[in-house]
Amino acid sequence: MLLRTTTAFISLILLVSIAASTRGQASISVTGSVSDPQSAPIPDARVTLYSLDRILQTKSDSSGRFKFDAVPIGKYEFEILAQGFKRFTMPDVFVTDLMRPTIPDKPTDLTAVMQIGPTGSPREIVAVAELAAVGDCGPPDSVTYGPRKTRDADALAGIVIGRFPKMAVPGATLQLFDAAGALIAQQQTNERGEFQFKQTVPGRYHILFQHPGYHNMEFREFWVARENQTYITLQALQLGKIVVCQ
């Protein structure tokens, strides 16, 4: 594909055309497409709408198209993640009833400029290191946003797993920080490597991971919303080991 032969200083334009069609006054269908400058579709891009009330996710199909059904009106942060590209985000995207726009004459087409991302993470140099693996060096963590089953369900939970070998990491310390950098709470993983933060208010957060047998890690920014349960999978790398990226 084109992006494999370009340098990290060359940018591709991700054209996101968002068209909103009214389905009553409470929600709107949001559709769009993801393509490169040559109009070639980009499949499997993850598209997310974030708000304090809810988090909606979908992926572009083989033709680069994506669709959100029945999006409640309101203000969202718009994010796109695509393999080979740096993360793109656009705050203050208003999903509105086109018959009653929040911002008059606001266009419905969005254009996002995506920068080529690194093909692999740098090697981590550790003294007296053992080679843990050779493989893909994508992000060592993941986050999913499922529906919250009950109002009292934990808003934020997750698991810590060793990268090589794959095994639960008990006794790890996880510190939860808000967007301003204030420490909100601290938890430890149980014998199955699981953790929970109870009564977490909606907002943006990040987590610091510490364990005497593993490298310290910082989990990238994520959201907690009123209607979702945020579930984090953090993969930790043991001390004395390195991962060589392909």
Mean pLDDT of 190-211: 95
**Neighbouring residues of 89: CB distance < 8 A, sequence distance ≥ 6:** 77, 78, 79, 80
* Whether residue 148 sits in one domain with residue 76: no
pLDDT grade, residue 182 (50/70/90)? Answer: very high
**Neighbouring residues of 170: CB distance < 8 A, sequence distance ≥ 6:** 189, 190, 191, 192, 193
* Whether residue 42 sits in one domain with residue 93: yes
Which tokens hold the place of 9? 């200083």
By C-alpha distance, which of 121, 118, 117 is closest to 85?
117
- More confident site: 10 or 111: 111
217, part of any domain? yes
* Whether residue 156 sits in one domain with residue 206: yes
The number of angstroms, rounded, from the C-alpha of 134 to the middle of its chain's C-alpha atoms is: 24
State yes or no: pLDDT of 161 exceeds 80: yes
**Which residue range forms the structural domain that includes residue 56?**
2-115
The total number of structural domains in the chain stands at 2
From 69, 85, 115, the end of a domain falls on 115
CATH number of the domain bearing residue 189: 2.60.40.10
pLDDT on residue 98: 56
* Whether residue 191 sits in one domain with residue 105: no
pLDDT grade, residue 109 (50/70/90)? Answer: very low
pLDDT grade, residue 203 (50/70/90)? Answer: very high
CATH number of the domain bearing residue 34: 2.60.40.1120
Q: What is the distance between the alpha carbons of residues 91 and 59, in angstroms, rounded to a whole number?
A: 19
From 52, 87, 115, the end of a domain falls on 115
pLDDT grade, residue 119 (50/70/90)? Answer: very low
State yes or no: pLDDT of 26 exceeds 80: no
Q: What is the distance between the alpha carbons of residues 74 and 186, in angstroms, rounded to a whole number?
A: 32
Mean pLDDT of 11-17: 45
Q: How far separated are the first and last CA of the chain, in Å rounded?
A: 18
* Whether residue 135 sits in one domain with residue 225: yes
What integer best gives the mean pLDDT of the chain? Answer: 76
Structure letter (DSSP) for residue 41: B
Mean pLDDT of 215-227: 93
Which residue type sits at 194? E
- Burial (CB < 10 A; 0-12, 13-18, 19+), residue 62, is exposed
- Whether residue 217 contacts residue 234, with contact meaning beta carbons closer than 8 Å, is answered with yes
By C-alpha distance, which of 155, 136, 149, 124 is closest to 240?
124
* Whether residue 241 sits in one domain with residue 136: yes
- More confident site: 170 or 134: 170
